[in-house]
């Protein structure tokens, strides 16, 4: 009996590992998330009943329960060197000439890889099992971040034994046996969508935004509580070896192939190049296409392929001579700050924004740039009239990075507002935060933002109720809370400027139509801190009615998978605030009747695959993917002839071309929203 259970448990683990591999490494899931969750729950249950059978490498044991006191240090058995940089074709050519001279031959080839903008990590596998994950540190000694690394699903806890190739039995490298000691080096990174979502949540929490995905990845790996790291959606690409008990291959390209066979994630865009001209071509083409990627790159890495030749070339102590990076120029532009606005967000955060003389940057005209917060504004010393440099990294909104020329030597730097620019109330700096907030819960600025969010496409989706109309409605005193929207009459609207009979009717109809939006949209529209569309869906799937959500205790909320204690506290607090409760009661009295969730997702799409590409206005990529999953789709990131649907936002890139050439159905954001409403 005990043996049977052990066998069953091992089988489930193997199955889950295979599906993790297909999903996180290959990007080709074969089962729906629901099926996966079922397998996972079954394993968890069996392990709960038989705790003596739990092993450290079980997929259920990725996240450890207890925060660490601090990090141990690890001495790298093979040092982790850094890399020299080049910035243009001449420098790259000079690198090639040095190689040619040192090798006294023209007989060598290169491997060209993307330079992933994350942080270097060394993973040590012993007998195929992950034993240590360490940061680079000073190259000799790094931090032991194993607990955090284990939470990254793309990092296998156990390596897969590849197929043995019997036909090449004589060839030293033909077998895919895993060396007893295998150190894998690579980059931990945060995908762009995860980065944007994290910063959005941090802004709501009043925590400073991470400046870029690299900082976010580094910050997430250096957390002492792995449970938080687990929520950060980090990923990993393997690109080099450290210590090996036996060689994997005689060239780099084949080493990477071996990595793949072992189940390690290797970036799919790695190319061989026969000479430096071909290298240059590849570099230039990726410079143009980098916005197609779901993660940030800051250049390319060029490596001599043959390992014997690498040994001959050696290193300078600091960096190997056989490899070089080709750094892309950051996308920057110069312009003038015409004015600085202070915006009030829906939770009262005051954000300085620079209005700029329009300038072309990375293909789009930029008129505004974020100054993040007042500490940042003062650090940069930005004032009106200054010439500034703005920068755009990937899809992230442009930011001012430096003042190039002050308007005048004595120009005053923008003063931190002492009162809210909208309502004039007192402002307060968040405790241990950098954000300044308006303290007035009835501030018109906050109300307008909350209403805009409420009516937004991802929430109640009220067509015709845009920012300008909301502004008028609040200024005229017609709307003081969400419920007032549903009490508006045509005649009220006709009193507003520029409002004709027909458009007044359209607005009233659109508001009325939103009364029966799904419950999750209603919950999401309230703007509860930390609760966006995805968490709202998790809540409504669990509780199935508004009353139950409103009366849930913090303990009940925390018990839900994916609802952490911070979220639980925020939900509980929101629904125990008498003002919020009375607005909800008013909403219900005004005829708002959110639709209860239908049982689970629609089965009609099961086995259909969907891909999201480009930037959507109302969703981060992850949110859009989540919506598709809830509709029953399997979501992948590569388009093939089997793909049933491609959702294409702005700047969709090559995935759209591929979909078109394969005749795959492509829909835009509006059509996507229509599908979600079905
Ligand atoms: S190879 C001797 N390959 O770039 C260096 N590094 O600026 C061996 N990086 O510390 C590293 N993508 O963190 C290599 N495809 C890639 C890379 C890569 C990103 C990072 C790595 C390194 C840094 C140097």
- Any ligand 1 atom below 6 A from CB of 82: yes
- Does 3.40.50.10190 match the CATH number of domain 609-677? yes
- 330 pLDDT band (50/70/90 cuts)? confident
Q: What's the CA gap between 335 and 387, in Å, rounded?
A: 6
3-class DSSP state of 378: helix
Question: Percentage of residues in the chain with pLDDT exceeding 90?
Answer: 59
- Any ligand 1 atom below 6 A from CB of 584: no
For the residues 469-489, what does the mean pLDDT come to?
A: 96
Which two structure tokens, joined as six digits, stand for 213? 């995905």
CA of 303 to the centre of ligand 1 (A): 10
- Any ligand 1 atom below 6 A from CB of 218: no
Q: Which residue has the tokens 């919506």?
A: 627
Which two structure tokens, joined as six digits, stand for 291? 């916005």
On the question of pLDDT at 119 being above 70, the answer is yes
Q: Using alpha carbons, select from 520, 519, 526, 494 the residue that is nearest to residue 508.
A: 494
Structure confidence at residue 28 (pLDDT) = 85
Query: Over the chain, what is the mean pLDDT?
Result: 89
Q: What's the CA gap between 145 and 152, in Å, rounded?
A: 12
**Domain 444-589 classification at class level:** mainly alpha
Q: Which helix (H) or strand (E) holds 30?
A: none
Q: Which helix (H) or strand (E) holds 212?
A: none
For the residues 587-598, what does the mean pLDDT come to?
A: 87
On the question of pLDDT at 569 being above 80, the answer is yes
pLDDT tens, position by position, 621-669: 777 887 887 787 877 777 888 889 999 988 787 788 888 888 889 999 8
473 or 503, higher pLDDT: 473
pLDDT tens, position by position, 555-566: 999 988 778 888
Give the number of other Cβ atoms within 10 Å of residue 571's Cβ.
26
Structure confidence at residue 376 (pLDDT) = 85
- Nearest residue CA, atom 21 of ligand 1? 120
Query: Which has the minimum average pLDDT: 134-143, 205-214, 334-343?
Result: 205-214
On the question of pLDDT at 167 being above 70, the answer is no
- Any ligand 1 atom below 6 A from CB of 115: yes
- 614 pLDDT band (50/70/90 cuts)? confident
Which two structure tokens, joined as six digits, stand for 13? 């683990």
Residue of 14, 44, 115, 409 marked active site:
115
**Domain 2-61 classification at class level:** mainly alpha
Q: Using alpha carbons, select from 254, 204, 264, 210 the residue that is nearest to residue 232.
A: 210
Structure confidence at residue 395 (pLDDT) = 46
* Degrees, nearest 5: CA angle 467-473-476: 135
Q: What's the CA gap between 155 and 145, in Å, rounded?
A: 13
- 600 pLDDT band (50/70/90 cuts)? very low
On the question of pLDDT at 606 being above 90, the answer is no
- Any ligand 1 atom below 6 A from CB of 120: yes
> 78, 116, 307: which to mutate for ligand 1, most atoms within 8 A of CB?
116
Structure confidence at residue 32 (pLDDT) = 86
**For 352, how many CA atoms within 13 A lie in the half-sphere containing its CB?**
27
For the residues 260-266, what does the mean pLDDT come to?
A: 95
Cβ-contact 96, 273 below 8 angstroms:
no
pTM of the model: 0.62
On the question of pLDDT at 174 being above 60, the answer is no
On the question of pLDDT at 409 being above 80, the answer is no
CATH of 332-437, one of 2.60.120.330, 2.60.120.10, 2.60.15.10, 2.40.50.140: 2.40.50.140
Q: What's the CA gap between 446 and 437, in Å, rounded?
A: 10
Structure confidence at residue 169 (pLDDT) = 45
Structure confidence at residue 204 (pLDDT) = 65
* Residue 164 is among the residues annotated as catalytic for this protein: no
pLDDT tens, position by position, 58-93: 999 998 777 788 899 999 999 999 999 998 999 999
- 598 pLDDT band (50/70/90 cuts)? low
- Any ligand 1 atom below 6 A from CB of 345: no
Question: Percentage of residues in the chain with pLDDT exceeding 70?
Answer: 93
Domain limits, the chain: 2-61, 74-197+211-327, 332-437, 444-589, 609-677
Structure confidence at residue 201 (pLDDT) = 77
Distances (CA, A) of 55 to 59, 230, 231, 378: 9, 19, 22, 52
CA 282, distance to chain mean position in Å, is 26
Q: What is the Rg, in whole angstroms, of the alpha carbon atoms belonging to the chain? A: 28
Structure confidence at residue 2 (pLDDT) = 67
Q: What's the CA gap between 237 and 187, in Å, rounded?
A: 5
CA of 115 to the centre of ligand 1 (A): 6
- Does 3.30.470.30 match the CATH number of domain 74-197+211-327? yes
- Nearest residue CA, atom 16 of ligand 1? 115
Cβ-contact 595, 519 below 8 angstroms:
yes
Query: Which has the minimum average pLDDT: 6-10, 94-98, 586-590, 647-651?
Result: 647-651
Q: Using alpha carbons, select from 547, 498, 502, 549 the residue that is nearest to residue 528.
A: 549
Q: Which residue has the tokens 């294409």?
A: 648
CA of 17 to the centre of ligand 1 (A): 28
């Amino acid at each position: 009996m005990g043996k049977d259970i052990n066998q069953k448990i091992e089988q489930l683990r193997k199955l889950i590992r295979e599906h993790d591999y297909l999903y996180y490494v290959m990007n080709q899931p074969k089962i729906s998330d629901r099926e996966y969750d079922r397998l996972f729950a079954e394993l968890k249950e069996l392990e709960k009943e038989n705790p003596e059978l739990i092993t450290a490498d079980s997929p259920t044991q990725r996240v450890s329960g207890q925060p660490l006191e601090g990090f141990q240090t690890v001495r790298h058995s093979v040092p982790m060197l850094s890399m020299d940089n080049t910035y243009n074709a001449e420098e790259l050519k000079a690198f090639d000439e040095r190689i040619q001279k040192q090798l006294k031959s023209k007989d060598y080839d290169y491997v060209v890889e993307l330079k992933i903008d994350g942080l270097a990590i060394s993973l040590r596998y012993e007998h195929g099992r992950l034993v240590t994950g360490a940061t680079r540190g000073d190259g000799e000694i790094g931090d032991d971040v194993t607990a955090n690394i284990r939470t990254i699903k793309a990092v296998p806890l156990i390596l897969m034994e590849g197929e043995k190739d019997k036909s090449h039995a004589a060839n030293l490298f033909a077998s895919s046996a895993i060396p007893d000691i295998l150190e894998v080096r690579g980059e931990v990174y945060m995908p762009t969508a995860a980065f944007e979502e994290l910063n959005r949540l941090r802004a709501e929490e009043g925590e400073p935004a991470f400046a870029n995905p690299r900082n976010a990845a580094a910050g997430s790996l250096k957390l002492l509580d792995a449970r938080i790291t687990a929520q950060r959606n980090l990923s990993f690409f393997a690109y080099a070896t450290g210590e090996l008990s036996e060689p994997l291959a005689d060239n780099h390209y084949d080493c990477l192939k071996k990595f793949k066979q072992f189940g390690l994630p290797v970036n799919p865009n790695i190319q061989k190049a026969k000479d430096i001209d071909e290298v240059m071509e590849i570099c230039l083409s990726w410079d143009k296409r980098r916005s197609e990627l779901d993660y940030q790159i800051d250049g390319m890495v060029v490596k001599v392929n043959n390992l014997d030749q690498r040994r001959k070339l050696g290193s300078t102590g600091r960096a190997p001579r056989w490899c070089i990076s080709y750094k892309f120029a950051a996308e920057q532009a110069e312009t003038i700050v015409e004015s600085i606005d202070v915006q009030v967000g829906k939770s009262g955060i005051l954000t300085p924004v620079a209005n700029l003389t329009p300038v072309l940057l990375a293909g789009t005209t930029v008129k505004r740039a974020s100054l993040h917060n007042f500490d940042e504004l003062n650090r940069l010393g930005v004032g009106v009239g200054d010439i500034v440099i703005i920068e755009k990294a990937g899809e992230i909104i442009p930011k001012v990075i430096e003042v190039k020329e002050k308007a005048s030597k004595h120009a005053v730097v923008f003063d931190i507002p002492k009162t809210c620019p909208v309502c004039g109330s007192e402002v307060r700096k968040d405790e241990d935060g950098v954000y300044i907030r308006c303290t007035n819960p009835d501030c018109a600025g906050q109300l307008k933002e909350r209403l805009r969010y409420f009516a937004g496409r991802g929430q109640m989706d009220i067509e015709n109720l845009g920012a300008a109309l909301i502004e008028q409605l609040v200024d005229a005193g017609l709307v003081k809370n969400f419920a007032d929207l549903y009490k508006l009459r045509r005649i009220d609207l006709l009193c507003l400027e520029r409002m004709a009979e027909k458009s007044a009717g359209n607005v009233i109809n659109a508001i009325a139509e939103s009364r029966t939006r799904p419950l999750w949209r209603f919950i999401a529209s309230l703007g509860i801190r930390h609760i966006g569309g995805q968490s709202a869906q998790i809540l409504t799937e669990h509780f199935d009615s508004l009353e139950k959500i409103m009366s849930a205790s913090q303990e009940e909320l925390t018990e839900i998978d994916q609802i952490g204690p911070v979220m639980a506290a925020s939900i509980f607090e929101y629904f125990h605030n008498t003002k919020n409760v009375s607005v909800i009661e008013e909403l219900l009295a005004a005829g708002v009747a959110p639709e209860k969730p239908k049982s689970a997702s629609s089965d009609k799409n099961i086995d259909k695959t969907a891909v999201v590409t480009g930037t959507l206005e109302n969703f981060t990529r992850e949110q859009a993917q989540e919506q598709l999953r809830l509709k029953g789709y399997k979501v992948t990131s590569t388009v093939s002839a089997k793909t049933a649907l491609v959702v294409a936002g702005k700047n969709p890139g090559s995935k759209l071309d591929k979909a078109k050439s394969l005749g795959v159905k492509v829909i835009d954001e509006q059509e996507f929203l229509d599908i979600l409403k079905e």
